């Protein structure tokens, strides 16, 4: 008998968005069950229903064969379901044990029983091979350990079924392996794991069975050993997809950007970029590799002009730009696709047409004698919407109403509507579905083929490996390794450098640092 079963689940959000439409899911006890699908396929909604955050409009949930209804997460927790969200729910200044017991504290009188709490956390971490020190505040721990704290939290509440929402998205490859060890140990001790993912190789490695979702419906449920990466991808998208990007041979002799001895100090006085030397040439994509927070974002912001530098020099197209404003740098042919499209890339309340000309308010084509030329702005928007196949009601729709992938396309369209000399890209496809990802990859590669120098940072190693000509690994604001991208370069090799476990000698690096 299935442990947990969802039959014909339907969920329509107020506003008419159909997130789940007749979804079926059968979870057997003691298995690792992956749920895959593109963004917007309804995976998260389904999990929220299983965990009691959302209530379905239709369908039934069966737990141990008996129908159940969860009005809130508390009821799901009490029924033995635990969930680890993509964004952790940990209080940063609380210690590990405080976070684990929060909400179900062991008490002595009215007092929190600290010793008992610590002992229980230690016992759990021992039993399930989730090694973590119970005492330090969680904000001092690396992401991989924070995730363990989240899992311990669920186990402390006696979860039998553990839902992990894209757990590998934030981890370095070595940490992913450690997570998989823990998952196997959980399953070996009788727990059941539901694993939401979009990285297919990981799904194939860890899961026993897979449910594929597309556009709010379940496409099918398969045994992992019966499928391949290709057949899964086809099920997800509904057609054959290519995960490779074809690139032209380009002339890479012209140096477009030269960064020497760059130092960046953050608001609290910590050095986050520590003497970086970096060149980017026309017609190449240089990938900045690193666990988030090792200086990639700051480097890109420093070159864009969004962050003041504490030392060093930045040259773009032969000009020293260190003291130039963002607009002056853009005038030299710099374009930038920022990490957070909602906070930095777009004005979500403004229309698509307005966003598409936001960086060109000095351009006489759109602004004449201080007044906006609305006709030209609209025409420009219509042209770009078509060229970048942005799915939108029209040029005057507010950007905030678009899906993640289409918002990102608006950013990409604005930055690449004219061929840039230097393109800075940070997390171009985070939270973007497979179809849009392919399109964005293609667009960035086209810019490269046409002679742009591209500096790319991404948390997704497969994206870096798919796009880059050269890869530079940053650890604590320093370059620790550099590679020329070749088919045999593996994520594991990069991972060792990303985690600071090893460092290349300067001779080794020189090969790939031209």
Site residues, other proteins (CB under 8 A): 72-74, 77, 83, 85, 87, 89-94, 98-99, 102-105, 107, 110-112, 153, 266, 268-270, 272, 293
State how far the Cα of 350 lies from the Cα of 409, in Å rounded to an integer: 15
Burial of residue 435 (CB within 10 Å: 0-12, 13-18, 19+) is middle
Bridge pairing between strands 453-457 and 107-108: unpaired
State which residue, 110 or 343, has the beta carbon closest to other proteins.
110
Residue 374 C-beta: closest distance to other proteins, Å: 34
Cα separation, 333 vs 7, whole angstroms: 55
Tokens of 192: 């059941």
| Closest to other proteins by CB, 117 or 227 | 117
Q: How far is the CB of 43 from other proteins (least distance, A)?
A: 18
Shortest CB 361 distance to other proteins, Å: 32
Rg of the chain over all Cα atoms, to the nearest angstrom: 25
Query: Which residue lies nearer to other proteins by CB, 272 or 289?
Result: 272
The smaller minimum CB distance to other proteins, of residues 16 and 269, is found at: 269
Q: How far is the CB of 385 from other proteins (least distance, A)?
A: 35
Closer to other proteins by CB, 77 or 291: give it: 77
For the bound state, the minimum distance from the C-beta of residue 400 to other proteins, rounded and expressed in Å, comes to 19
What is the three-class DSSP state of 367? Answer: strand
CB-nearer residue toward other proteins: 70 or 441 = 70
* Sign of the dihedral through C-alpha 494, 500, 505, 511: positive
Question: Cβ closer to other proteins: 140 or 510?
Answer: 140
Q: How far is the CB of 85 from other proteins (least distance, A)?
A: 7
The label of the residue with tokens 């021992």 reads: 126
Tell whether the torsion through CA atoms of 185, 186, 191 and 197 is positive or negative.
negative
Least distance to other proteins, CB of residue 91, Å: 5
In the three-class reduction of DSSP (H, G, I as helix; E, B as strand; rest coil), residue 104 is classed as: coil
Which C-beta is closer to other proteins: that of 291 or that of 434? 291
What are the respective helix, strand and coil percentages of the chain, to the nearest 5? Answer: 35, 25, 40
**Ordered DSSP codes for 430-454:** TT--HHHHHHHHHHHHHHHHTT-EE
Residue closer to other proteins (CB basis): 66 or 111: 111
Neighbours of 107 (CB within 10 A): 10
**Min CB(146)–other proteins separation in Å:** 11
Ramachandran angles phi, psi of 112, nearest 5°? -75, 125
Q: Structure tokens of 193?
A: 């794991």
The DSSP element (H or E) to which 97 belongs, if any, is helix 96-101
Q: Which is nearer to other proteins, 5 or 54 (CB)?
A: 54
Q: Report the nearest approach of other proteins to the CB of residue 135 (Å).
A: 15
SS3 10: strand
Q: Least Å distance between CB 63 and other proteins?
A: 18
DSSP string of 57-96, one letter each residue: SEEEEEETTEEE--SSHHHHHHTTEEEE-SS----TTSBH
CA-CA distance, 38 to 221, in Å (whole number)?
16
């Amino acid at each position: 008998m299935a442990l947990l079963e969802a039959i014909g689940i339907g969920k329509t959000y107020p506003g008419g968005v159909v997130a789940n439409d007749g979804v079926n899911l059968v979870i057997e006890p003691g298995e690792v069950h992956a749920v895959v699908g593109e963004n917007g396929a309804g995976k998260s909604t389904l999990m929220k229903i299983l965990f009691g955050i959302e209530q379905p409009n239709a369908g039934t949930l069966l737990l141990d064969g008996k129908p159940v209804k969860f009005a809130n997460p508390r009821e799901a927790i009490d029924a033995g379901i635990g969930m680890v969200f993509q964004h952790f729910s940990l209080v940063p200044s609380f210690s590990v044990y405080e976070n684990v017991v929060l909400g179900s504290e062991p008490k002595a009188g009215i007092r929190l029983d600290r010793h008992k709490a610590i002992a229980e956390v230690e016992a759990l971490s021992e039993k399930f091979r989730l090694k973590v020190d119970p005492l330090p505040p969680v904000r001092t721990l690396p992401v991989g350990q924070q995730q363990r704290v989240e899992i311990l939290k669920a186990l402390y509440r006696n979860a039998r079924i553990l839902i992990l929402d894209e757990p590998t998205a934030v981890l370095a490859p070595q940490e992913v392996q450690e997570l998989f060890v823990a998952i196997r140990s959980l399953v070996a001790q009788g727990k059941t794991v539901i694993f939401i993912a979009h990285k297919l190789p990981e799904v194939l490695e860890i899961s026993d069975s897979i449910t594929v979702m597309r556009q709010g419906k379940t496409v099918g449920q398969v045994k992992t050993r019966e499928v391949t990466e290709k057949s899964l991808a086809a099920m997800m998208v509904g057609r054959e997809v290519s995960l490779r990007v074809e690139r032209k041979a380009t002339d890479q002799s012209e140096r477009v950007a030269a960064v020497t001895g760059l130092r960046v100090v953050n608001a609290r006085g910590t050095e986050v970029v520590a003497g970086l030397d970096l060149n980017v040439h026309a017609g190449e994509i240089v990938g900045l590799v690193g666990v988030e927070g090792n200086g990639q974002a700051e480097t890109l912001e420093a070159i864009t002009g969004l962050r003041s530098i504490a030392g060093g020099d930045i040259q773009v197209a032969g000009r020293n730009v260190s003291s130039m404003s963002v607009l002056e740098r853009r005038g030299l042919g710099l374009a930038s696709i920022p990490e957070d499209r909602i906070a930095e890339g777009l004005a979500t309340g403004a229309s698509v047409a307005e966003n598409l000309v936001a960086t060109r308010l000095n351009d006489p084509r759109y602004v004449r004698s201080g007044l906006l030329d609305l006709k030209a702005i609209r025409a420009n928007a219509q042209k770009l919407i078509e060229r970048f196949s942005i799915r939108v009601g029209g040029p005057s729709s507010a950007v905030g109403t678009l899906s993640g992938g289409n918002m990102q396309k608006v950013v990409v369209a604005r930055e690449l509507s004219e061929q840039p000399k230097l393109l800075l890209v940070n997390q171009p496809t985070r939270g973007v579905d497979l179809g849009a990802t392919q399109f964005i990859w293609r667009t960035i590669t086209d810019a490269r083929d046409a002679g742009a120098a591209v500096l790319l940072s991404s948390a997704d190693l497969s994206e870096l490996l798919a796009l880059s000509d050269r890869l530079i690994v940053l650890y604590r604001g320093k370059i620790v390794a550099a590679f020329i991208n070749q088919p045999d370069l593996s994520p594991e090799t990069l991972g060792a450098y990303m985690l600071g476990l090893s460092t290349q000698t300067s001779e080794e690096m020189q090969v790939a640092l031209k």
